[in-house]
Amino acid sequence: MDTPPRLKLAIQKSGRLTDNSLDLLVRCGLKYSRAKDQLLCFGENMPLDVLLVRDDDIPDLVQEDVCELGIVGLNVVEEKRLGFRARGVEPLFEQVMTLDYGRCRLSVALPEDQRYDGPASLAGRRIATTYPNILARWLADRGVAAQVVTLSGAVEIAPRLGRADLICDLVSTGSTLAANHLREVETVLESQAVLIRTPVPVAEEKREWMDRLVKRMDGVQQVRESKYIMLHAPREALPLIASLLPGSEHPTIVPLEGTTEKVAVHAVCRENVFWETLESLKAAGASAILVLPVEKMLP
Ligand code: PRT
Ligand code: ZN
């Protein structure tokens, strides 16, 4: 019997994106067993193998067609893409969708006791970064001739060591910058985890699974924020109540036994439903309001 060809997806082995990426796959229905060397998760109920690697290697694995899919930060994807282009190599990875985790920004920061007078004031200054291609493009777009100092890590201490005047590094909470007396002055790139795929055509069976997986990921993401809301509403208040339901397009209106003045309203809200929304609904005449989590959704 022929074994079906198996899709390969690369994710970060151990780091900020690992838990969320595995959790996303489990929510997509994947059951896996992890190989002894910890480098591969074997999909038991899908023809899918998950390779666990360093995040910097993920675009290369897709580029070389070792993996059809990868999950990695947009910052890494962009840096690789520009790096390939600079070497005259066509990048062979496409962004399929953004994922709702790994959010951060690549920012320029300078010692907090120094003045900042806009991008033009960076001319002739040394900026330390592990993202030289993204930074160089940002500077070029603004016509600024600064010196990019490429480091492999510990960027935040470069100004103190006299290796650079400023830095360009990833920031999420900002506490690393604060601890190093640095002030964020420009956002170079907003980033989050993204799903990338090879543009090279893949065998029919693999493609079907790829499409299914992408649809399921999309469904999982929509569900995370979504809520199912049920309430009773006076008929005349329906337009106002419908306008208060966050991210819901067509609520279902159901008649209520024994009354013509009130109806039941059911709706999927694609945004979180906060207490403030419930209070506004109540003020608009709604009663018996119920908010339920959505388990699965196939758009
Ligand atoms: O070993 P491997 O190469 O796989 O891991 P890595 O050390 O290169 O990556 P890792 O796990 O640190 O980050 C993986 C991805 O998470 C990054 O490529 C980003 O897309 C995303 N991400 C989200 C972040 C951050 N937030 C983040 N805060 N990556 C790094 N940081 C670092 C930043 O470089 C700085 O040192 O955290 C520090 C700043 O954090 P705050 O909270 O103090 O601002
Ligand atoms: Zn890395």
pLDDT digits (tens, 9 = 90+) for 145-156: 999 999 999 999
Same domain, 208 and 60: yes
- pTM of the prediction? 0.89
Total domains, the chain: 3
Average pLDDT, the chain: 95
Residue nearest ligand 1's atom 11 by CA: 15
Average pLDDT (106-127) is 97
Residue nearest ligand 1's atom 20 by CA: 73
State if residue 192 touches ligand 1 by the CB under 6 angstroms criterion. no
Same domain, 180 and 115: yes
Same domain, 135 and 69: no
Ligand positioned closest to the Cα atom of 11: 1
Q: 251: domain CATH number?
A: 3.30.70.120
CA distance 27 to 17: 15
Give per-residue pLDDT as tens, 280-298. Answer: 999 999 999 999 999 888 7
Same domain, 245 and 276: yes
Given a cut of 90, whether residue 229 has pLDDT beyond it is: yes
Average pLDDT (92-100) is 96
Give per-residue pLDDT as tens, 174-224. Answer: 999 999 999 999 999 999 999 999 999 999 999 999 999 999 999 999 888
> Residues with Cβ < 8 Å from 228, sequence gap 6 or more?
266, 267, 268, 269, 291, 292, 293, 294
Residue nearest ligand 1's atom 42 by CA: 173
How many Å lie between the centroid of ligand 1 and the Cα of residue 17?
9
Same domain, 29 and 96: yes
Q: 215: domain CATH number?
A: 3.40.190.10
State if residue 133 touches ligand 1 by the CB under 6 angstroms criterion. no
Residue nearest ligand 1's atom 9 by CA: 15
State if residue 157 touches ligand 1 by the CB under 6 angstroms criterion. no
Give per-residue pLDDT as tens, 38-86. Answer: 899 999 999 999 999 999 999 999 999 999 999 999 999 999 999 999 9
Beta strands in the chain (DSSP E): 7-12, 32-34, 40-43, 48-53, 69-73, 94-98, 104-111, 126-129, 147-150, 166-171, 182-191, 193-197, 227-234, 252-256, 259-269, 287-293
Q: Is residue 2 domain-resident?
A: no
Give the bridge partners for 233, in sequence order.
263
Same domain, 167 and 178: yes
Given a cut of 70, whether residue 93 has pLDDT beyond it is: yes
Pocket test for ligand 1, best of 19, 100, 171 (most atoms within 8 A of CB): 171
Same domain, 207 and 94: yes
Pocket test for ligand 1, best of 98, 104, 106 (most atoms within 8 A of CB): 104
How many Å lie between the centroid of ligand 2 and the Cα of residue 193?
13
State if residue 152 touches ligand 1 by the CB under 6 angstroms criterion. no
State if residue 281 touches ligand 1 by the CB under 6 angstroms criterion. no
State if residue 60 touches ligand 1 by the CB under 6 angstroms criterion. no
CA distance 77 to 19: 20
Q: Is residue 273 domain-resident?
A: yes
Provide the residue range defining the domain that includes 264. Answer: 227-293
Q: Which pLDDT belongs to residue 38?
A: 82
More confident residue, 110 or 295: 110
Same domain, 271 and 133: no
Atom number of ligand 1 nearest to Cα 56: 3
